[in-house]
Chain A
Amino acid sequence: MLQYLLKRLAAIIPTVFFVTVIIFGLQQLLPGDAASVLAGENQDPEVIAYLQKKMHLDEPLPVRYAYWISGVFHGDLGESMRIQQPVLDLIKEKLPVTLQLAAMAMVIALLIGIPAGIVSAVGKDSAWDYLANVIALWGLSTPNFWLGILMILVFSVQLGWLPASGYVSPFEDLGANLAAMIMPAFVLGNAIAAVLMRHTRSAMLQVLNADYVRTARAKGLNERRVVLKHALRNALTPIITLGALEFGTLLSGAVLTEQVFSIPGFGKLIVDAVFNRDYAVVQGVALFTSSVYILLNLLADLAYFVVNPRLRG
């Protein structure tokens, strides 16, 4: 176990290095001059020249990369040129929001997706199966922004039950926080639930036909125990990977949903930064979220160990 963990951790170092090169390189492909975008509508040549110098845009690419990466090693991700705030502060400010939204969305997705997948696999070709499939299809094909706006119109404008948008810190007012987060979390969770349901269903169908399940049934175990203990445990391995990947994607920001509900998370931060060519923010957030993504993958691998005894040998 320890050896495996060390091996995986060692593999992370070149991966993260590669990621920094990709992030930096891809950003250079963005058309347009960052300094002139940040200079605003006046396009004052002196301001543009000043910004170019400040962002080292007048230096060759490798030098710029070196400036950035040495900053990263010193824990300095740079400063947002647009609003004068350090990128690290911005990340610290947005991280709890994004984490909470991702966690709530994931809980909703798991609560809907896995039971629906099990029910649909166990009752294959029954009315429940069809119903679950229809719901999954709806979840997969409904655009987030549309569902978001529809929910705002129904629950905020018509019924007045929930706030239309905005974010309140849970430490300020937990009730208001949950009221503000439930709609965006549902919109996000809804789409993931559909994916989880489909995967759970197919994984369960495979497992339910396996010999050991038949044996378990032959031993006279009740169906509930067969499904939940014997079948589900084995079917969970691919679902954990999928869940970790989906959670990683959620952490990199749910752009449209955050936009619709005005949730100040990573998605909004990075999209605004891309449009404003606020390079330090784009690089900082991309590096942070991709590192988290890599770590989540590692955690998913470790979780296999826990659920799948065969790997421990």
Chain B
Amino acid sequence: MSKKILLSLALAATACVAQAQTLRIGLAEDPDVLDPTLARSFVSRIVFSSLCDKLVDIDEKLNIVPQLATSYQWSADNKALTMKLRSGVTFHDGEKFDAAAVKFNIDRHKNLAGSNRRGELAPVTTVDVIDELTVKINLSAPFSPLLTVLADRAGMMVSPKAAQAAPTNFGTKPVCSGPFKFTERVAQDRIVLERYAGYWDKANIHFDKVVFQPIVDATVRLANLRSGQLDFIERVAPSDIASIKADKKLAFSRITELGYQGITINTGKSDQAQKNPLGRDPRVREAFELSLDRAGIVQVAMDGEATPGNQWVPPANSFYARNVPIPKRDIARAKQLLKEAGVPNPSFTLMTPTTSDAQRVAQVVQAMAKEAGFDVKIQSTEFATSLNLADKGQYDAYVLAWSGRADPDGNLFSFYGCKQPLNYSGECRPQWDELLNRSRNTLDTAGRIKVFATLAAEAEKVKPVIYLFHRNWLWAYNKKITGMRTVPDGLVRPQGLKM
């Protein structure tokens, strides 16, 4: 009897080994260039999660956890970060990963023409190779977001040999040190990765192949999952959640994003700001905010799949400023404020990208604000055009989403800093710049929370951005898949995933 059991177990084991398992993931967009230094889209980060390991990673609670670096230590003056590297790691071309490779990669991020990482690593001055597995990153000033920056593309390591061999088109055949290596890419059709036998954490990898397929339409993406063409899809439409729950073959996961959906107001980007009561008078902006019921917007526009919020981080985040709670809808007070401002029926244009989410949000906002006396005109604008108009300050208000970063600095600095590239409101205040820099120079969390609380209270008075909610990342997958980790950055980490 026991022989029989042993035999069948052995057979089952052979069957498992023999059957090459592929994980097919449906993406909402076609990723851009697969070079961590040049990449600029959210969706390419999903592919990188399987392809390129980083120095450190973040976990479900946004803690920094080891990946290619096993430990780190700040210097006494907080102007240098020393990292101990994992031994025995190789790149997909067999080259050794060591301190020299880290130095090469950070230098490449900082110097490659067109690098999107240069800005993120601006405070990094030099990198010292201490020994084969120790590296010291020197900074011009203390920079608290550095670790979360290294937990994203700026911390991804590519093979120096391969990068030097392909100076202009490394992204067409990337060589990293992640669990899967690059096999082929057919633009807009598929990206195929194959298991890397030399991966340092191979015990945690249970697929032989990962195929990413961009399918833009959420309904079609889901149809592919239902028909078994795909095993996993990202960014499920909130309206499909009910039917996924009812489907016995499917499972789903969700987590609140790091980013936000909000309305940016032109308060000083151009002369147009002064021509409109919304841009001119903070009382009108307060009235506009009071006319909105965030929970209602989430219910109607997002089918409940978001968390109402009024700051750059969600209310559950440890950096959320509790001194500035979400204001309740108050139409009477809104009308009163408009009366005081001398504009009982202010009119403005709400520039809205053409995505269905943004359109729905704009329509609900329009209807709610109308009750307080606002005349909101929705101006549907293709995304590229809207970006251009926002940059020139040719708008009154702009429905804008941000994918979010693990450190609040990534949601703030570029938006609130004077003359920063994403400061579409045009609000420029030396005091805010000082607070933003202080938050970067302060390493202890309690100190930073205080700085953000001060900034939140200041921003509350001016309201350059009216934050509405934080969307849920929604993933649906074959019920046989286990080990899905819901990390708020919305990426799909293959480590531990099984089917």
Residues of A within 8 A of B (CB): 30-33, 36-47, 50-51, 54, 80, 82-85, 90, 93, 149, 152-153, 156-157, 160, 163-167, 259-262, 264, 268-269, 272, 275-277
Q: Answer whether residue B11 sits at the interface, using C-beta atoms and an 8 A cutoff.
A: no
B217 part of interface (Cβ distance < 8 Å): yes
Give the residues in chain A near B32, CB-CB below 8 Å. Answer: 40, 82-83
CA gap between A84 and B38 in the complex, in Å: 10
Residue of B nearest to A267 (CB): B188
Q: Does B499 contact A (CB under 8 A)?
A: no
Q: How far is the CB of A158 from chain B (nearest CB, A)?
A: 9
Question: Which residues between 394 and 415 of chain B lie within 8 Å of chain A, taking CB atoms?
Answer: 402-403, 414
User: Using a CB-CB cutoff of 8 Å, which residues 192-230 of chain B contact chain A?
Assistant: 213-217, 219-220, 223-224, 226-229
- In the complex, the answer to whether A41 meets B40 with C-beta atoms within 8 Å is yes
Cα A202 to Cα B460 in complex, Å, equals: 70
Instruction: For the complex formed, measure the closest distance between the CB of A43 and the CB atoms of chain B, giving whole angstroms.
Output: 4
Chain A residue contacts of B384, Cβ below 8 A: 30-32, 37, 275-277
Check A83 against B229 for contact (C-beta < 8 Å).
Answer: no
Chain A contacts for B114, CB-based, 8 A? 47, 50-51, 54
Partner among B41, B120, B168, B229 whose Cβ is within 8 Å of the Cβ of A164: B229
Task: Indicate if B113 sits at the interface (CB-CB under 8 A).
Answer: yes
CB of B388 within 8 A of CB of A33, answer yes
Question: Please, which residue of chain B has its CB at the minimum distance from the CB of A97?
Answer: B189
Known: A39-B40, A165-B229. 20 other contacts (CB 8 A): A32-B384, A33-B387, A39-B116, A40-B40, A41-B42, A42-B40, A47-B116, A83-B185, A84-B38, A85-B172, A149-B217, A152-B223, A164-B229, A165-B213, A165-B220, A262-B224, A269-B187, A272-B30, A272-B188, A276-B384
CA distance A276 to B118 in the complex (A): 22
Interface residues on B, range: 35 or more
> Is B303's CB within 8 Å of the partner chain A?
no
- Docked-complex contact B382 and A275, CB < 8 angstroms: yes
Residue of B nearest to A278 (CB): B32
Chain B contacts for A275, CB-based, 8 A: 382-384
B418 to chain A, nearest CB (A): 14
Of B187, B216, B217, the contact of A90 (CB 8 Å cutoff):
B187
Please give me the residue from chain A that is nearest to B190 by CB atom: A166
Q: Which residues from chain A contact B229 at a C-beta distance below 8 Å?
A: 156, 163-166
B305: Cβ under 8 A from any A Cβ: no
B98-124, CB < 8 A from A: 113-116, 118-120
Question: Are the CB atoms of B188 and A32 closer together than 8 Å?
Answer: no
Cβ-based interface call for B421 (8 A): yes
Nearest 10 pairs between A and B by C-beta?
Answer: A40-B40, A264-B189, A32-B384, A43-B421, A156-B227, A32-B388, A31-B385, A37-B384, A164-B224, A50-B114
**A50 contact set on B, CB distance < 8 A:** 113-114
CA gap between A31 and B391 in the complex, in Å: 13
